[in-house]
Structure 1
Amino acid sequence: MSREQLRQLRRDPEQFLHDLYNSPMIRRPDGREVPRLPAHDFWISDGAFCGRIGFRFQRGTEELPAHSYGHIGYTIVPWKQRRGYATQALRMILPVCRAEGFSRVLITCDDDNEPSRKVILANGGVPAGTVPHTTRPGHVKLAFWVPTEPG
């Protein structure tokens, strides 16, 4: 989560959740507003807030709009990182993806984000090339297909 998102959450949790889930548009990091995709979002908790994970999709197709890097995005607050929360959260959201009819999902991570790459690989991620990084010149996103069936 960004520092600004954490500030908004602490300042007014109800408004933060309302804006997060009820707006028909979302603001991209580059400032553009784009239509919100159907999604399943979950809070990650160990009794206290650890982060969130979400599955966004278009019904009936693996395809995603150009502004979406992948089907799944997750973030863990800095003080809870490297405890296995993201790996477990990804494992737990895959049956949700399968229930929506997906046999695999596309997940990307920054080329220099080794912890996220390990999370994806631990869940069966298969490298699928790279995509341009729209907000970090000189960097790319690593793309992986992750099967939604265990094993």
Structure 2
Amino acid sequence: MRLIPPTESLHRSYLDAVDEFGGAHRDGDGLWQWIDAEGAVQPYARAEMESDEGFHDFIVRRTDPDRDLLRGWVPCTFLWMEQDGEYVGSLAIRHDLNDFLAAEGGHIGYSVRPSARRRGHATDALRQALPVCRDLGLNRVLLTCDDDNLGSATVIEANGGVLTKTIPAPSNGQLVRHYWIDLSDAPG
């Protein structure tokens, strides 16, 4: 598995994976939206994403960390997990923390498509992402996961994450674990 920038070559595989999620939130994949010339949020419709032209536009926007930022949002580098020419997941590196990210989102979010889970993709993707974080000038990164998400906790801990606290998420009260990874000590 390798971590790569979003690419048009994974068009069909990406959309098939989105279907696998069945409408569930995909951490690390961002929202299907863009900001028009007047600053209004415009959603991508599935039909737009199906077309080559629409998907090309999505990829162009998705590979520019400073594009389509709403007020209070931070630049984000999106990366895709690819194995044998198939999309297996997404990972997002947020360059800074705003209040929401500091409480429950962290610097890095990721998700693996359901049919590719439990194969080590998330652990490997996070390991590959840490040098990218260093290249962005980050000295340490915050990762969060729901307290009952033992799979994600294992991924974070396998990459040097140190649990510092567990707090109720401001958005829903669900307990969220806060892990920090010191990038001077991190693998990769």
TM-score bucket of the superposed structures, by smaller chain: 0.7 to 0.9
Q: Distance between the aligned counterparts of 1:123 and 1:10, measured in 2?
A: 35
The answer to which of 125-134 and 47-56 deviates more is: 125-134
1:67 aligned residue (77, 92, 100):
100
Q: Distance between the aligned counterparts of 1:101 and 1:141, measured in 2?
A: 26
String of CA shifts for 1:52-84, please: whole Å, max 9, x gaps. 1111023xxxxx211112111111111111110
Rg larger for: 2
Query: Which runs of no fewer than 5 residues in structure 1 stay unpaired?
Result: 26-33, 59-63
Q: How many residues align?
A: 137
Q: Distance between the aligned counterparts of 1:16 and 1:144, measured in 2?
A: 31
Task: Rate the CA distance shift 1:24–1:70 in 2: closer, same or farther, 3 A.
Answer: same
2:140 aligned residue (84, 104, 111):
104
The residue aligned with 1:142 is: 177
1:78 aligns with 2:111: no
Q: Distance between the aligned counterparts of 1:9 and 1:113, measured in 2?
A: 31
Work out which structure has the larger RCO, using CA pairs closer than 8 Å and 6 or more positions apart in sequence.
Answer: 2
Q: Indicate if the aligned counterparts of 1:106 and 1:144 stay in contact, CA closer than 8 A.
A: yes
Equivalent positions of 1:1-150 (< 5 A) are 3-4=22-23, 11=47, 12=49, 13-14=55-56, 16-17=58-59, 20=62, 22-25=67-70, 34-46=71-83, 47-58=85-96, 64-68=97-101, 69-137=105-173, 139-149=174-184, 150=186
Q: Indicate if the aligned counterparts of 1:130 and 1:142 stay in contact, CA closer than 8 A.
A: yes
CA RMSD of aligned residues (A): 2.6
String of CA shifts for 1:89-128, please: whole Å, max 9, x gaps. 1000101111122221000001111100000000011011
Tell me the TM-score normalized by structure 2.
0.63
Task: Rate the CA distance shift 1:114–1:14 in 2: closer, same or farther, 3 A.
Answer: same
Return structure 1 stretches of 4+ with deviation > 6 angstroms.
5-10
Q: Indicate if the aligned counterparts of 1:54 and 1:74 stay in contact, CA closer than 8 A.
A: yes
